[in-house]
Amino acid sequence: MQLRNSNLQRLSDDTFDVLIVGGGINGASAAAALAGKGVKVALIDRGDFASATSQQSSNLVWGGIKYMESHDFALVRKLCRSRNHLIESFPSSVQEIRFLTTIGKGFRFHPRTLWAGTWLYWLMGNGFTRIPRFLKPRDIRHEESIINTDEALGGFEYSDAYLHDNDARFVFSFIRNALDAGACAANYVESVGARREDGLWHCRVRDVTDQSSFEVRARVVINAAGPWVDRHNQLTGQSTDHHHAFSKGIHLIVPRLTEQRRVLAFFADDGRLFFVIPMGPRTCIGTTDTREERPEVEITDGDINFVLDNINKRLRLEAPLTRDDIISTRCGVRPLAVRSDQNGGRDFLQMSRKHAVDINAEDAHISIFGGKLTDCLNVGEEVVEEVRQLGIEIPDPEARWYGEPGAERRQAFIERAGQIGLDERTPTTSSESLSVRLWRRYGEEAFSMLERINEDPRQAELLIEGTEYLRCELEHARSREMVTRLEDFLRRRSKISLVVSEAEIQQSPGLREACEILFGDEAQQRLEEYFAPAQSHLVRQGITDDEHPCIEAGDQTDDSDSLSLSSPQT
């Protein structure tokens, strides 16, 4: 907690160039971009970083092939280029993956028409990925025997990308980059309103963990509160050209359905794309697209039935999936940017996911609407330019603020790992070598882990067996990742709670020791808080929907968060 406590003190004492409200993908990328270019930045989030929309995605980094049907080619072209740039910039984390789409009889387009569309999609992405393929029903059966091809006319295979680790951890990497560049960030700090006085914003904030209040001062405020942007603008008296419409999406996490590492795509009964996505030892299936009036949503029986019905129709399983097969669920809203002179109701399923940035130059206030994880680098650069237009000096405008360390540093890490025999310590249950995994997750920070392991071999032991989390990683999370509550680690810095049922987690002998490393004397309190009966995700974070309206939001797959949770063998 030392990092968070020191940042709380800075928030209260300093005056910042920019205060960002919301630590989802929009706020995180904006903070990393601004701090990386030398701007004095603060970021607060009412919950944990990436604890709303940004932890509920499909873990896909894609160019938006579905938007081609609505002829939004400019958006597709932009997203394809963004996808390519992310693959190049984060080669360990953002990786190309094949999509196999099956087309059934009676669909509005013939499979060969859609196959031709994938070639256009490939060309719009500058031919960056592997070329598309057309598949006849027998080819589909041969490559993915679980697909029910009884009503299939054919299919096609093309490429997009996915996150090897979970979406929330990817968002946190931008927060970490911002911190490393000098930014001040704190989770569980709620903005409850602000006033502008003598050229400064005076923002009233509340520490959710102890209910204390203080003030943060900044020249510019950026509202990146995701689905709650409109509510926060009401608190600060802002009128904008855009507002949000909400689309609820859910995913179900079930046991792994296929050994093949590709995404299976279908068109669901409502006509929208429906995915079967690899998630290490599990499979993620979904999604829905339901119009909602509020950003606070819950998964319903109807949502679950829709996903189960669609998947059971399209896969040839030994036994149909039922509720008993569900390990965990994901449920959140997509905040869709709509012009304020429109109601957002027309062609709801085809509404654009492009982001919008509204500027109030007189008040030095910026609001970010909509957006996708794929577009995060563009959001960061756009925000930097808008902040510059508002009179904030950008000391190092050409600085690169994103991406993994270069090939030379990676090679240096691999060589050092070889010198201490790191990969020989890889547990037999691991899906990849320790050197590959530690570099992907921590980059430059993994060097210090090598030295800890060299000094104390126990640091390379699995603390929570089956999840591939080492003792040194828990210590790193305690000191460098601002883990404030147990859910922060289990759900966002890792994705353990997605791939392991709550009952298994609760029975894990290794979890207690993990909590002691993360929280010290507060370990028991954090365990009881996490497993308290009938507590919702928001209540766990100290948040109620009606008490205070402002919260963050933002926009997944790694073999490493696996099945068993137990103490290491000694």
Same domain? For 263 and 276 the reply is yes
| CB of 60 closer than 8 Å to CB of 160 | yes
Highest-confidence segment of 92-106, 345-359, 534-548: 92-106
Alpha carbon distance 295, 436 (integer Å):
38
Polymer length in residues for the chain: 570
The pLDDT-based confidence of 132 (bands split at 50, 70, 90) is very high
Which has the minimum average pLDDT: 69-78, 229-238, 407-416, 543-552?
Answer: 543-552
Query: What are the structure tokens assigned to 565, written together?
Result: 């949770």
More confident residue, 546 or 516: 516
Instruction: Give the predicted TM-score (pTM) of the model.
Output: 0.92
The mean pLDDT of 268-295, rounded to a whole number, is 91
Residue 63: inside a domain, yes or no? Answer: no
Alpha carbon distance 570, 567 (integer Å):
9
Same domain? For 422 and 436 the reply is yes
Segments forming the whole domain that contains residue 304: 72-162+245-339
Same domain? For 147 and 108 the reply is yes
Same domain? For 13 and 81 the reply is no
Of 318, 339, 360, the position where a domain reaches its end is 339
More confident residue, 168 or 557: 168
Alpha carbon distance 220, 217 (integer Å):
9
| CB of 496 closer than 8 Å to CB of 463 | no
Q: How far is CA 228 from CA 266, 289, 508, 548, in A?
A: 32, 19, 36, 11
Alpha carbon distance 69, 374 (integer Å):
19
| Strand runs labelled E in 208-286 | 213-223, 242-255, 263-267, 273-279, 282-286
**pLDDT reported for residue 447:** 97
The string of pLDDT tens digits covering residues 288-309 is 989 999 999 999 999 999 999 9
Beta-carbon contacts of residue 356 (< 8 Å; ≥ 6 apart): 241, 242, 337, 368, 369, 370
Residue 560: inside a domain, yes or no? Answer: no
Residue 474: inside a domain, yes or no? Answer: yes
Alpha carbon distance 93, 86 (integer Å):
9
Query: What are the structure tokens assigned to 351, written together?
Result: 């509404």
Residue 548: pLDDT over 50: no
List the one residue out of 217, 243, 226 whose CA is nearest residue 23.
226
The string of pLDDT tens digits covering residues 462-485 is 877 657 789 999 999 999 999 999
- 538-556 burial by CB neighbour count: b if 16+ within 10 A, else e? bebbbbeeeebbbbbbbbb
The mean pLDDT of 148-170, rounded to a whole number, is 95
Residue 11: inside a domain, yes or no? Answer: yes
CA 488, 560, 102: angle at the middle one, nearest 5? 105
Residue 559: inside a domain, yes or no? Answer: no
Same domain? For 138 and 281 the reply is yes
What is residue 509's three-state secondary structure?
helix
Element (H, E) at 97: strand 94-104
Please state whether beta strands 184-187 and 213-223 pair in parallel, antiparallel, or not at all (unpaired).
unpaired
Alpha carbon distance 34, 402 (integer Å):
11
| CB of 268 closer than 8 Å to CB of 314 | no
Residue 178: inside a domain, yes or no? Answer: yes
Instruction: Tell me how crowded residue 125 is: count the other CB atoms within 10 A of its CB.
Output: 21
Residue 570: inside a domain, yes or no? Answer: no
Of 315, 339, 363, the position where a domain reaches its end is 339
List the one residue out of 4, 376, 326, 466 whose CA is nearest residue 167.
376
Alpha carbon distance 542, 472 (integer Å):
29
Tell me which amino acid residue 247 is: S
Same domain? For 463 and 510 the reply is yes
Q: What are phi and psi of 10, to 5 degrees?
A: -65, -40
Alpha carbon distance 273, 207 (integer Å):
41
**pLDDT reported for residue 351:** 64
Same domain? For 32 and 179 the reply is yes
- Please name every residue paired with 61 in a beta bridge, in sequence order, or none if there are none: 161
**pLDDT reported for residue 347:** 53
Alpha carbon distance 340, 108 (integer Å):
33
Determine what percent of the chain falls in helix, strand and coil, rounding each to the nearest 5.
40, 25, 35
Same domain? For 203 and 287 the reply is no
Same domain? For 325 and 356 the reply is no
The pLDDT-based confidence of 557 (bands split at 50, 70, 90) is very low
Same domain? For 15 and 45 the reply is yes
In this structure, what CATH number is given to the domain that contains residue 325?
Answer: 3.30.9.10
The mean pLDDT of 379-408, rounded to a whole number, is 97
Alpha carbon distance 388, 39 (integer Å):
10
- The structural domain count of the chain equals 3
Q: What are phi and psi of 507, to 5 degrees?
A: -90, 0
| CB of 55 closer than 8 Å to CB of 487 | no
The string of pLDDT tens digits covering residues 417-474 is 999 999 999 988 787 899 999 999 999 999 999 999 999 999 998 877 657 789 999 9
What do you get for the CA distance between the two ends of the chain, in Å? Answer: 30
**pLDDT reported for residue 566:** 35
**pLDDT reported for residue 547:** 39
**pLDDT reported for residue 556:** 35
In this structure, what CATH number is given to the domain that contains residue 352?
Answer: 3.50.50.60
Same domain? For 111 and 139 the reply is yes
- Please name every residue paired with 214 in a beta bridge, in sequence order, or none if there are none: 205
Write the secondary structure of 354-418 as one string of H (helix), E (strand) and C (coil).
CCEEEEECCCCEEEEECCCHHHHHHHHHHHHHHHHHCCCCCCCCCCCCCCCCCHHHHHHHHHHHH
Proportion of the chain above pLDDT 70, given as a percent: 91
Mean residue pLDDT across the chain: 90
What is residue 184's three-state secondary structure?
strand
**pLDDT reported for residue 346:** 46
The mean pLDDT of 324-346, rounded to a whole number, is 84
Same domain? For 145 and 171 the reply is no
List the one residue out of 270, 274, 245 whose CA is nearest residue 333.
245
Give the DSSP letter of residue 132: P
**pLDDT reported for residue 167:** 95
Alpha carbon distance 516, 522 (integer Å):
8
The pLDDT-based confidence of 383 (bands split at 50, 70, 90) is very high
Write the secondary structure of 11-55 as one string of H (helix), E (strand) and C (coil).
HHHCEEEEEEECCCHHHHHHHHHHHHCCCCEEEEECCCCCCCHHH
| CB of 368 closer than 8 Å to CB of 407 | no
The mean pLDDT of 375-386, rounded to a whole number, is 97
Please state whether beta strands 242-255 and 290-292 pair in parallel, antiparallel, or not at all (unpaired).
antiparallel
Query: What are the structure tokens assigned to 172, written together?
Result: 């946190």
Residue 66: inside a domain, yes or no? Answer: no
Residue 161: pLDDT over 60: yes
List the one residue out of 286, 254, 252, 283 whose CA is nearest residue 270.
286
**pLDDT reported for residue 171:** 97
